[in-house]
Chains A and B, each alone.
Chain A
Amino acid sequence: MSEQRRSEPSRRRFLGYLIAAPTLAVGVTWVSTADSAEAVIPTLPQPEDIFDLGDLQNLAATPTSGLVSVQVNEDGTASFALHRCEVGQGITTTVAMMIAEELDLPVERVTITLADARPELLMNQLTGGSNSVRSIFTPVRTAAAIARQQLVRTAATQWGVPESAVTTKDGGLFANGRSATYGDLAKAAAADRTVQVSATLKSTAAFRVLGKPHNRIDALAAVTGRKSFGMDLQVPGAKPCMVRRPPTINGTVRTVRNAAEVEAMPGITDVAVITYGVAVRGETFGQCIDALRALDVDWNPGPVATESDATVLAALKKAQIPLAVPQLGALSVDAEFTFAFASNAPLEPDNAIADVRSDSAEIWSTLKVPIDAREDIARQLGLPLDKVIVHVVPGGGSFGRHLFHDVAAEAAEISQKMGKPVKLSWSRTDHFRQGRVHPMSVSKVRATYLLGNVLTYEQRHTSTETSFSHGLGEMITSTAAELPIAGNLSFAESIFLLTQSVPYNFGVVTQLLNEIPLKFNTGSMRNIYSPNVATARELVVDMLAKKMGRDPVAFRRGFLRDDRLAAVLDKAVQVGQWGRTMPAGTAQGIALHGEYRGAVAVLVEIDCRPSTVNRPVQDGVTGPRVTKATIVVDAGLPLNPRGIEAQMQGCLNDGIALALTSSLHVKDGIPLEGSWDNYFYTRQWNTPVDVQVVVLPPTTNTPSGIGELGVAPSFAAVACAYARATGKVPTSFPINHGTLSFEPLPLEPSTPQSPTNGLDTAF
């Protein structure tokens, strides 16, 4: 983590373009000079050797093709098509705040939409790595600042006053008793040709909007049911569509015995065999479920049909990179932790609308890497890139799932095969069983110490392969991840090395990753490697402290080599009352993590007493309960403290789930989990009643990444608290993984029938 101190940068000018348009429009190039050097997602080895120059021809068409632009409209609003995906993390709100800040316009008058896939933006249309706000911060404010400057110039010219006499406030311009709204001047301020201009940005000390808590701009739509998700869109002719899927991951169809019969069922219009199943299209999703269940299909087994939890674990243990330092008996800590497969499924099932014609295609889906989706789907359909339009739809969560466009590609395949538009939704059961998973991994740690010092810290993280085939958002890098030489492993290793660190003075430190290439459908899950790697690390830190006879907090404080982590630790200790007397069977746990140029400390209290662990709940798991949590976050320059608090609360519930309850049990090539009463994400009965988030005042001049930052320390703190409450350090996560706490739904048909007794549970 950087040691960057808070100091006011020089008031340098930032460049942008006045774009020829009917009303005022300001563009900025999307290569951020101010911030990109510290981007979390690494730059790949230069890709020119594998990049077909023909692909570039259209991109260089105009010098401004890569611009993103802020527009001022005649109704006095400003609008911006964000080249990122909103999936709940709140970036649309933060970006609206940025524009409002520099434009002197109320946030409510800024409209943010999501941009379609724009290949000319190259690698810069990827939502991931908690990098959006960090990378947008300077360019978008620059565009807004230029827009304001141009409005001021226009008013000054019209009124015959110097620019310095014109002030702006709440979307209005004022000088010598005269006034106008931005809407009044939106046309007059427009450029008739595209020219480069520059402006200075407000100093952070002058912020009036950024840095103050702001509610989400889409909150009203969300609470009234008006927020429109993929399945809510009405595209002419795009009827509901679902898929009968195989009983093993990526199994394939051998024969369908009754396609014609199923096609004649009530409401059903089409049946088509596709890559991994049989698609049905009909008037309602309910009738699609009936139809897919009625299909009589023989299957070929998928590529991991012989794999189960135990076989994967054995393969991981065999692939571990050896530790270098010999074990030193009483003066070393040796530990090994297993982390089960986990699902990155959001609540909204994967869905996409596809309207594929003979010469064109239009796709709607929640896509965090839409350029990659567009290029891939164009290739799959055999269509030129410019004949494929890909719209990005706000998502009902992502957690890593929407880095991939599996569902959009499948919808396109189905639409092409049926020759009709489709609205495809995966069923909940599909989502858990055939959807992307976070890989199982094993983390082995050895630390040695002598005379009060830690001499070495070695961590060997071994994982089933995490697919990064979405690359950095674009075909060039996507291809690189598939190449045998510059292949996935080196890319994964790069990401591992660029995201992991040990923030303690532990002498010689090495952290290495090895991955085994099992063909599960994998992908990142919120915070990628960190939750598992940091949990292993923080548990070992507690073990070291115990062996060396020191309190966990005092020990961390003594070895920390990062001031920002020290500050959040101190604050958490104070606010969360570290060390207070706790009854037997309950305990506090504390953990630290720095990433995305931010720092977090989490202090939790857990209750592992039998009366709590065994409290009854219908169709769910209870187990230990985290009763209280204190989260202290240093977000660098916190732009929206209310949003940051929300993200920390979400990260906490993710961490609790990873530590205690949520995992996939893979058996004979498929996860057994098929519903939210099998996959135990944190529910109300497992969430702490007492949660306090402290957002520290600014410590730097740039915002840190936020959406994933709190997962790792939350997971680690809960694990440490559990170990202290029970007196036993757990070696397998989540702690309940060894017990199957549900009756698995049948594997065939792949989607269960909906119940009919819903009125019995009305309350």
Chain B
Amino acid sequence: MPQHTFVLNGERVTVDVADDVRLLWVLRDILGVTGPKYGCGLNVCKSCTSHINGKAFNPCAVPVSKIKPTDEITTIEGLPATVGRDLHPMQEAWLEEDVAQCGYCQPGQIMAAVALVRKARAEGRTITDDDLDGLRNICRCGTYTRIRAAIKKGEARM
């Protein structure tokens, strides 16, 4: 069985698994990291959104063989450590706005939100309603109003 090595939430991990197994299943079924959720396996619902080298991506749509040993994968579990705190400011905003209902999409929503703010910032601007309209993460409970409020609050604190 081929070996795959990468950095997961700050720690180097190595797994024995076939090349084409999508990273989501490596995280969930082999490594037991269950923050990224399975919602479709089609790169559509975005509930598995995590970060690769700081950028939002969906591990359900990436074979593990495409992950390089130097790639840093961050899931919701590792997000607070990227700012050296117990909770990332975006998570705090989520709590203050009491965003979650069932909670299934929320790890992915938060990871997408953090990446969106970073992207806008890299472009030298703050997020707009158009940016928020462009977020594809589904929330079937319909928490969109509070998601939008939380992202704006989280952005101000990042």
Contact surface of A with B, Cβ cutoff 8 Å: 87-90, 215-216, 218-229, 231-232, 234, 240, 266-267, 283-287, 289-290, 345-349, 394-397, 399, 425, 427-428, 619, 642, 646, 649-654, 675-677, 681-685, 687-689, 691, 751-752, 754-759, 761-763
Given A221-B103, A284-B29, answer yes or no on A267-B18 (Cβ-Cβ < 8 Å). Answer: yes
Chain A residues near B110: list those with CB within 8 A. 223
Given contacts A223-B106, A229-B104, contact A649 B57 (CB under 8 A): no
Closest residue on chain B to residue A756 by CB atoms: B63
Contact of B98 among A87, A215, A756 (CB under 8 A): A215
Instruction: Write out the residue numbers on chain A whose beta carbons fall within 8 Å of the beta carbon of B140.
Output: 345-347, 397, 399, 681
B17 touches A284 (CB 8 A): yes
* Residue from the list A396, A653, A677 in contact with B144, Cβ < 8 A: A653
Q: Known contacts A224-B76, A225-B34, A267-B18: does B142 contact A90 (CB below 8 Å)?
A: no
Q: Given known contacts A231-B34, A685-B133, is B138 in contact with A289 (CB within 8 Å)?
A: no
B141 near A88 with CB under 8 A, answer yes
Chain B residue with Cβ nearest A229: B104
Q: Is the CB of B102 within 8 A of A347?
A: yes
The answer to whether B40 touches A675 (Cβ under 8 A) is yes
Given contacts A225-B77, A684-B147, 10 further A-B contacts (CB under 8 A): A88-B141, A222-B107, A224-B35, A234-B32, A267-B21, A284-B26, A347-B102, A428-B41, A684-B135, A763-B56
Give the Cβ gap from B31 to chain A, nearest Cβ, in Å: 11
Measured between beta carbons, the chain B residues less than 8 angstroms from A759 are 52, 57, 62, 66
Q: Which residues of A contact B8 (CB under 8 A)?
A: none
15 A-B residue pairs with Cβ-Cβ distance under 8 Å, sorted by A, are A218-B103, A219-B95, A219-B98, A222-B100, A222-B103, A222-B106, A240-B29, A285-B41, A346-B104, A347-B140, A349-B39, A676-B45, A684-B132, A758-B62, A763-B116
Give B residues with C-beta under 8 Å from A: 17-18, 20-22, 24-26, 28-30, 32, 34-45, 47, 52, 55-63, 66, 75-77, 80, 87, 91, 94-95, 98-107, 110, 115-116, 119, 129, 132-148
- Which 4 residue pairs are nearest across A and B when measured between Cβ atoms? A225-B35, A758-B61, A88-B102, A653-B142
Q: Give the shortest distance, in Å, between B46 (CB) and chain A (any CB).
A: 9
Residue of A nearest to B48 (CB): A758
Given contacts A428-B39, A682-B142, contact A284 B30 (CB under 8 A): yes
A689-B148 contact in complex given A286-B22, A347-B104, C-beta closer than 8 Å: yes
Q: When the two chains form their complex, are residues B21 and A284 in contact, meaning their CB atoms are under 8 A apart?
A: yes
Contact B62 A215 (CB under 8 A): no
Choose one: A287, A396, A758; the contact of B37 (CB below 8 Å): A396
- The one of A218, A224, A290, A650 in contact with B141, judged by C-beta atoms closer than 8 angstroms, is A650
Most B CB within 10 A of own CB, among A229, A240, A650: A650
Q: Are B148 and A754 in contact (CB under 8 A)?
A: no
Instruction: Contact check, B133 vs A752: say whether CB atoms are below 8 A apart.
Output: no
Q: Which residue of chain A is the closest to B150 with respect to CB atoms?
A: A223
* Chain B residues with CB below 8 A from A651, complex form: 142
Closest chain A residue, CB of each to CB of B102: A88
> Would you call B43 and A285 a contact (CB within 8 A)?
no
Residues of B within 8 A of A224 (CB): 35, 76-77, 80, 87, 91
Q: Of B44, B75, B145, which contacts A225 at CB under 8 A? A: B75
List residues of chain A with CB within 8 A of the CB of B75: 225
- Pairwise interchain contact A427-B29, C-beta atoms closer than 8 A: no
* A653 vs B140: C-alpha distance when bound (angstroms): 9
Q: Which residues of B contact A223 (CB under 8 A)?
A: 76, 87, 91, 94-95, 99-100, 103, 106-107, 110
> Which residues on the B side are within 8 Å of A216 (C-beta)?
98, 100-101
Q: Which A-chain residue is minimally distant from B139 (CB atoms)?
A: A347
Instruction: Tell me the bound Cα distance from A218 to B100 in angstroms.
Output: 9
In the complex, what residue of chain B is closest to A678 when comparing beta carbons? B44
Write out the residue numbers on chain B whose beta carbons fall within 8 Å of the beta carbon of A688: 145
Name the contact of A285 in the complex, choosing from B29, B66, B116 (C-beta under 8 A): B29
Query: Which residues of chain B come closer than 8 Å to A228, judged between CB atoms?
Result: 34
Say whether A396 contacts B95, CB under 8 Å: no
Q: Are A676 and B40 in contact (CB under 8 A)?
A: yes
* A223-B100, A758-B61 known; A285+B91 contact, CB < 8 A: no
Q: What are the residues of chain A within 8 A of B34 when measuring CB–CB?
A: 225, 228, 231-232
Residue numbers in A under 8 Å from B146 (CB-CB): 646, 649
Q: How far is the CA of A450 from the CA of B133 in the complex (A)?
A: 48
Q: Say whether A684 contacts B134, CB under 8 Å.
A: yes
* Residues on the B chain within 8 Å of A752, using CB: 42
Check if B61 sits within 8 Å of A229, measured CB to CB: no
| Complex alpha-carbon distance, A677 and B146, angstroms | 23
Specify the chain A residue showing the minimal Cβ separation from B112.
A763
- CB of B60 within 8 A of CB of A754, answer yes
Please state if B145 and A346 are interface contacts (CB–CB under 8 Å).
no
Q: How far is the CB of A724 from chain B (nearest CB, A)?
A: 24
Q: Is the CB of B103 within 8 A of A88?
A: yes
Q: Are B41 and A229 in contact (CB under 8 A)?
A: no
On whether A758 and B60 interact (CB within 8 A), knowing A225-B107, A395-B102, A649-B142, the answer reads yes
A646 contact set on B, CB distance < 8 A: 98, 101, 143, 146
Contacts of B55 in A (CB 8 A): 762-763
CB closest residue in chain B, given A290: B20
Residues of chain A within 8 A (CB-CB) of B30 are 283-284
Distance of A734 Cα from B69 Cα, bound (Å): 48
Q: Given A223-B107, A675-B44, is A649 in contact with B145 using a C-beta cutoff of 8 Å?
A: yes
Q: A284 and B143: CB pair below 8 A?
A: no
Chain A residues with CB below 8 A from B106, complex form: 222-223
Whole-angstrom distance from the CB of B147 to the nearest CB of chain A? 8
Q: A225-B35, A348-B39, A762-B55 are in contact. Are A286 and B91 (CB under 8 A)?
A: no
Q: How far is the CB of A720 from chain B (nearest CB, A)?
A: 20
CB pair A761 B58 closer than 8 Å: yes
Q: Complex: how many Å from CA A745 to CA B153?
A: 39
Q: A218-B103, A649-B145, A689-B148 are in contact. Are A758 and B47 (CB under 8 A)?
A: no
Q: How far is the CB of B40 from chain A (nearest CB, A)?
A: 4
Inter-chain CA distance A676–B101, complex, in Å, is 19
Complex CA gap A347/B143 in Å reads 13
Q: Are B134 and A266 closer than 8 Å at their CB atoms? A: no
What's the least CB distance linking B111 to chain A, in Å? 10
B91 touches A287 (CB 8 A): no
Asked whether, in the complex, the Cβ of B102 is within 8 Å of the Cβ of A755, the reply is: no
Closest B residue to A89 by beta carbon equals B101
Residues of B within 8 A of A286 (CB): 20-22, 24-25, 29
* B138 & A762 in contact (Cβ 8 Å cutoff): no
Of listed A232, A345, A347, residue having the most chain B CB within 10 A = A347
Whether A758 and B141, one on each chain, are in contact in the complex, defined by CB atoms closer than 8 angstroms, is no
Distance in Å from the Cβ of B26 to the closest Cβ of chain A?
7
What residue of chain B has the Cβ atom nearest to residue A647's Cβ? B101
A283 to B17, CA, bound (A): 10
Which of B28, B47, B52, B103 interacts with A227 by CB under 8 Å? B103
- Which of B44, B104, B143 is in CB contact (< 8 Å) with A396? B104
> Would you give the shortest CB distance from B57 to chain A, in whole angstroms?
4
Check B76–A225 contact: CB distance below 8 A. Answer: yes
Please name the residue on chain A nearest to B75 by beta carbon. A225
Closest to B64 in A: A286
Query: Bound complex: CA of A685 vs CA of B135, how far in Å?
Result: 8
Whole-angstrom distance between the alpha carbons of A651 and B157 in the complex?
30
Q: How far is the CA of A288 from the CA of B61 in the complex (A)?
A: 16
Q: In the complex, which residues of chain B have a beta carbon less than 8 angstroms from the beta carbon of A290?
A: 20
Bound Cα distance from A220 to B88, whole angstroms: 12
Residues from chain A with Cβ under 8 Å of B147 in the complex: 684
| Residue in B22, B100, B106, B148 with the greatest tally of chain A CB atoms within 10 Å | B100
**Cβ of B104: which chain A residues have Cβ within 8 Å of it?**
229, 346-348, 396-397
